[in-house]
Amino acid sequence: MESSSPCQGSTEIVFFDLETTVPGRTGQKFCILEFGAIVVCPRRLIEIESYSTLIRPRDLSVVALRSSRIDGITRETVSNAPEFEEVADKIFTILNGRIWVGHNIQRFDCVRIKEAFARINRLPPVSAAMIDSLGVLTNKFGKRAGNMKMASLAAYFGLGQQKHRSLDDVRMNLEVLKHCATVLFLV
């Protein structure tokens, strides 16, 4: 007899997040420094796969020698990481055809992914659908948690500090959504 998984037949959900450089001058582009994703079963909201990688920009000088960033990513931490082109196939496979979820992904992360694929002359992955938790939570949850940044939402629900590392942040995003759904269901 064939067993069926509770996730079989459903479009999987992928929560993803990027850490990037912050352009210091006009005309300078964002560079992806880290990509993290978890694939989640849409029926049970449990993690079934994860992937995370630091990414070395072509021009290492865009990364600070000493980090003033919360994430601690420095030139040294990315100096031996693969360039985007080396991990593009894996990122494409994780994202393509799945439902994309993330906090502020519509305005930020999706744009950076498209830019990164364009820089290597490749078509970007395409989502089956997109859920930007910033928009969803702002519309449904209101301003109960303040400015609706992930750190504020995590603090509101007692989930700890946001680490500003991709894989940690996507796992936190999933937990924030679960907590918000519970509150909205019970109210």
Two tokens, residue 178: 């679960």
Which among 163, 164, 168, 183 is annotated as catalytic?
Answer: 164
Based on the residue annotation, tell me whether 164 is a catalytic residue of this protein: yes
Q: Does residue 175 contact residue 150 with C-beta atoms inside 8 Å?
A: no
Residues 6 or more apart from 66 whose CB is under 8 A from it? 74
C-beta atoms surrounding 25 within 10 Å: 5
Instruction: Compute the half-sphere exposure of residue 31: CA atoms within 13 Å on the CB side of its CA.
Output: 24
Residue 101, beta-bridge partner list: 15, 131
What is the distance between the alpha carbons of residues 26 and 30, in angstroms, rounded to a whole number? 11
| Catalytic machinery residues | 164
